[in-house]
Amino acid sequence: MKRVLITILCAICAVLSVNAADRAHTLKIYNWADYIDESVLDDFKVWYKEQTGEEIEIVYQLFDINEIMLAKIEKGKEDFDVVCPSEYIIERMLRNNMLLPIDKDFGETPNYLQHISPYIIERFNKIDGCGKNANDYAVGYMWGTTGLLYNTKYVTAEEASTWGTLHNEKFEKKIFIKDAFRDVYSTILIYLRHNELVEGKTSLDELMYDSSDKSIADVEAFLKKAKKLVAGWEADFGKEMMTKEKAYINLTWSGDAVWAIEEAAEVGVSLDYVVPKEGSNVWFDGWVIPKYAVNTKAARYFINFMCRPDIAIRNMEEIGYVSVIASPEVLEAQSDDELENTIDASYFFGEGAENVKLNPVLYPDKSVVERCAMMHDSGSRTPKMLEMWARVKGDEVPLWNLMIIVVSFSVLLVLGIRRKINKNRKQSHRKPRKAKRK
């Protein structure tokens, strides 16, 4: 309740501030919580004036769920200039004509988009925009995988190597699963269809489009069998439970795994992360300009600025996730000579990166990436998947009541949250990764 009251008060202040601002010199950014080094925003204002001669103010607002963000954009009552959705939401926005193309001609200003990894460009080419190329409407920001974070004291590498370990009664009430129905659905579907993949009867890309009644039922059956072993469905606290050894396995994202591994090491707990042998999903978040944007010029300059290698490095060091930028500076900054093994990161950095010492949680080996696929929007099938997810978790509230709750919460968020930029702000949910010292 306290958090809701604070949100409402901040929202009211945001509305008053935005209404009073000169919108032509204001950039409205909508991003995930704890997903940027906020000192970068002040630096952008200085850089933008140097490049254009124009002053710019920033209204920085947060969201925690893709669908809540999308609901605000769809209604057209919010004129955000730049937003950071995930790949399947970018796909949906393209299909529904909700995005503006990004003008990548910056005149005499350097075009930092050239540093984006070819792997990311290729992945974005696979976003199904109904004839629109996603690379014309979106620019990647961060990416990662979904896998299993595990405690090496209680879970062997062999046990963690398969999604089937979620049915291992040895780990009863020691398993946490990310409360993200789409990520969980796609990974379990890959596990259930592994034999068909091996026999060539289907492909990873085809599975990522599969939201048939049979596949939904099969995933539901698997998860219901696993449910008695699951200690909880978590949005953000799973990694902390792992560091405290209150859980031994966590189905989670690679970025959260990095945080947990480093925090656990400081208290003598050994954690590791793996993408199971059957395969998994690889996810991407990217910057887009919604069709209701007002300051499209500042928006595209901001996107360009975020691709500058030094800015990408700062953001990675702050939030623990991996930038789409593949410049030599990023490779050097992320290399760690203390690592015992090398990986093949040529798929991301290009020729010369076949044997490099990079954190394999952040940059999976080429062999791992080859068994991962990108998720797609399930369109009209989404309600069916949500219903399945509610049944699995045991939510007693009917789906339509859940939707009312979500919509009501969205109304509160529509007012917006203005964040004052504080370089020394302490994050309450995710601690920044420590920069490597050479």
Q: What is the pLDDT of residues 178-190, one digit of tens each?
A: 999 999 999 999 9
Q: Is the pLDDT of residue 17 over 70?
A: no
Q: For residues 43 and 392, what is the distance between their CA atoms, to the nearest angstrom?
A: 46
Q: What confidence tier does 422 reach under pLDDT thresholds 50, 70, 90?
A: very low
Over 90: is that where the pLDDT of 403 sits?
no
What is the per-residue pLDDT for 434? Answer: 34
The mean per-residue pLDDT over the stretch 402-429 comes to 40
List the structure tokens of 23.
């919108």
Q: Which two tokens stand for residue 47?
A: 């850089």
pLDDT band at 395 (very low <50, low <70, confident <90, very high): low
Q: Which of 86, 96, 103, 210 is nearest to 146 (CA)?
A: 86
Query: CB within 8 A of 66, min separation 6: which ones?
Result: 85, 86, 88, 89
- How many Cβ atoms sit within 10 Å of the Cβ of residue 62? 17
pLDDT at 340 over 60: yes
The bridge status of strand 230-234 relative to strand 99-100 is unpaired
More confident residue, 411 or 155: 155
In 3D space, the residue among 332, 333, 366 whose CA is nearest the CA of residue 348 turns out to be 366
Q: What is the pLDDT of residue 128?
A: 93
326 and 117 Cβ atoms separated by less than 8 Å: yes
> By C-alpha distance, which of 266, 274, 277 is closest to 240?
266
pLDDT band at 249 (very low <50, low <70, confident <90, very high): very high
- DSSP single-letter state for residue 130: T
Is 33 buried (19+), middle (13-18) or exposed (0-12) by CB count in 10 A? middle
When mean pLDDT is compared across 19-28, 215-224, 381-390, the lowest value belongs to 19-28
Distance CA 79, CA 211 (A): 33
Are 247 and 172 in contact by the 8 Å Cβ rule? The answer is no
SS3 of residue 70 by DSSP: helix
Q: What kind and span of H or E run contains 331? A: helix 328-334
Looking at residues 377-386, what average pLDDT do you find? 94
pLDDT of residue 75: 86
Give the per-residue pLDDT at 144: 97
pLDDT tens by residue, 183-223: 999 999 999 999 999 999 999 999 999 999 999 999 999 99
Share of the chain above pLDDT 90, in %: 80
Placement of tokens 């696979």 in the chain: 126
Evaluate if residue 15 carries a pLDDT over 80. no
Kindly state the greatest CA–CA separation across the chain. 64
Which pLDDT value is given to residue 326? 98
CA distance 321 to 144: 7
* β-pair partners for 81: none
Whether the predicted pLDDT of 300 surpasses 50: yes
Beta strand segments in 81-134, E: 82-83, 99-100
> 27-31, 40-44, 258-262, 406-410 — which is least confidently predicted?
406-410
- Partners of residue 178 on adjacent β-strands: 234
Residue 437 CA, chain-centre distance (Å), reads 27
pLDDT one-digit tens code per residue, 24-67? 899 999 999 989 999 999 999 999 999 999 999 999 999 988 98
pLDDT at 436 (0 to 100): 31
The answer to whether residues 247 and 166 touch, using CB atoms and an 8 Å cutoff, is: no
Beta-carbon contacts of residue 358 (< 8 Å; ≥ 6 apart):
331, 334, 335, 336, 339, 343, 345
Indicate the angle between helix axes 399-414 and 2-20, nearest 10 degrees.
Answer: 40
Q: What is the mean pLDDT of the chain?
A: 88
Alpha-carbon distances of 3 from 8, 9, 10, 33, 408, rounded to whole Å: 9, 10, 10, 14, 15
Q: What percent of the chain has pLDDT over 70?
A: 85
pLDDT value of residue 2: 39
CA–CA gap between residue 77 and residue 415 (Å, rounded): 10
Residue 133 has pLDDT above 50, yes or no: yes
pLDDT at res. 407: 46
Give kind and range of the element (H or E) at residue 232: strand 230-234
